[in-house]
Structure 1
Amino acid sequence: MGFHLMGGPMALAGRVDLEERRQAALDLLTQYIRIVDDPRRIEEWPALFSDDAEYIVITRENHERNLPIAVIRDDSKDRIADRVTIIREFWGAGGRAADRHYNDAWPRHVVGPVWVEFSESGDALVGANFAVYQSVQVDVAPRLLAVGEYKDVVEFSGATATYKAKKVILDTSVLQDVFVYPL
């Protein structure tokens, strides 16, 4: 009596390909968190997105009502890159302390659990709960900045995974503080 794979070798190849894509989508989320948690690496953030990607931060209430009103809506990689310019030039993230218009803040993302499903087109639909804390040098304790859920669409080109859409759904309609860094 031998081991039998249902579906034969082609089904196994399909599962291996999906597992590789699932891992690439998880690796993309890990890279996203590593970059946005380090203001010195903010220039790397746009490279995680496809050219026609969108980055949206929206309240849960507006998302569930299908209202197009977002806290942030960047509808292309170029606009995402513009956001980095604003962060660097106005807020002085990671630059000289004398040039900063904002306290030296370090965000920290706590993410999980993460789930991955696949659309019929082959894109990965990635979801995760998140909390973002902010540590500011002048404060004694970190502050909770935002809590919510990621609903992302990840597309693949060869072995490269990029965000086609990154939707940040905030559980509350008000943030505790000004935020300039990506959530």
Structure 2
Amino acid sequence: MKLDFDTWLAVVQLQADYAAAVDSGRWELWPDFFTDDCVYKLQPRENHERGFPLSTLAFDGKASLRDRVYGIQETLFHDPYYQRHVVGTPVLRGVEGDGAIRCESNYAVFRTKLNGLSTVFNVGRYLDRVVRTPDGLRFAERVAVYDSEMIPNSIIYPI
């Protein structure tokens, strides 16, 4: 896969569609942004930089993402909130031998509780491995590396 303007634009669209889906609260859309054998992690910066595998959330495969969606919709009890992603322009870092695109983008997620003000919820960068599928570009790997060592008492929704 060549790194040209059309490829970059397709990555930008994938990121925008992802943010719109998770911000809409339509959680059933979330797994479809990934390949069947995907990896999704939410990991503290310190662990990532030191090469430690411990992550706040870690899912292997689309089936585990669907399980998380089920948990969000049916079993987890929490104060509901809205979230809104602001995602920076992706930087395409290169293409691997199998054609996968390595890219990176900064993000900020704001949270609004139903009876409160909006607050900064999570800030960091996405480290993505994106592949072309018959259905368009999908995340084979998405690692959200967050900057703060402190996070709210629970992270329910995908970052």
Q: Which residue of 1 aligns with 2:80?
A: 104
SS of structure 1 residue aligned to 2:89: strand
Q: Which residue of 2 aligns with 1:85?
A: 70
TM-score, structure 2 length as denominator? Answer: 0.92
Q: Which structure shows the higher strand fraction?
A: 2
* Structure with max Cα Rg: 1
Separation in 2, partners of 1:27, 1:117? 17
Q: Is the 8 A contact 1:148 1:171 kept in 2?
A: yes
- Structure 2 residue 11 is the aligned partner of structure 1 residue 34: no
Q: Which residue of 1 aligns with 2:119?
A: 143
Q: Is the 8 A contact 1:22 1:124 kept in 2?
A: no
Q: Which has the higher contact order (CA 8 A, sep 6+)?
A: 2
Query: Once the 2 structures are TM-superposed, how far is the Cα of residue 123 of structure 1 from its aligned partner?
Result: 1.4
**Alignment map for 1:13-162 (pairs within 5 Å):** 18-39=4-25, 41-91=26-76, 101-121=77-97, 122-139=99-116, 141-158=117-134, 160-162=136-138
Query: 1:20 corresponds to which letter in structure 2?
Result: D
Separation in 2, partners of 1:168, 1:42? 18
Identity %: 28
Query: Once the 2 structures are TM-superposed, how far is the Cα of residue 135 of structure 1 from its aligned partner?
Result: 0.5
Separation in 1, partners of 2:67, 2:135? 27
Separation in 2, partners of 1:164, 1:120? 12
Separation in 1, partners of 2:8, 2:101? 7
Q: Is the 8 A contact 2:12 2:89 kept in 1?
A: no
TM-score, structure 1 length as denominator? Answer: 0.80
Unaligned 5+ residue runs, structure 1?
1-13, 92-100
Separation in 2, partners of 1:43, 1:158? 20
SS of structure 1 residue aligned to 2:71: helix
Runs of 4+ in 1 over 6 A off after TM superposition: none
Separation in 2, partners of 1:36, 1:138? 21
- Structure 2 residue 143 is the aligned partner of structure 1 residue 167: yes
Separation in 2, partners of 1:78, 1:155? 18
Query: 1:77 corresponds to which letter in structure 2?
Result: K
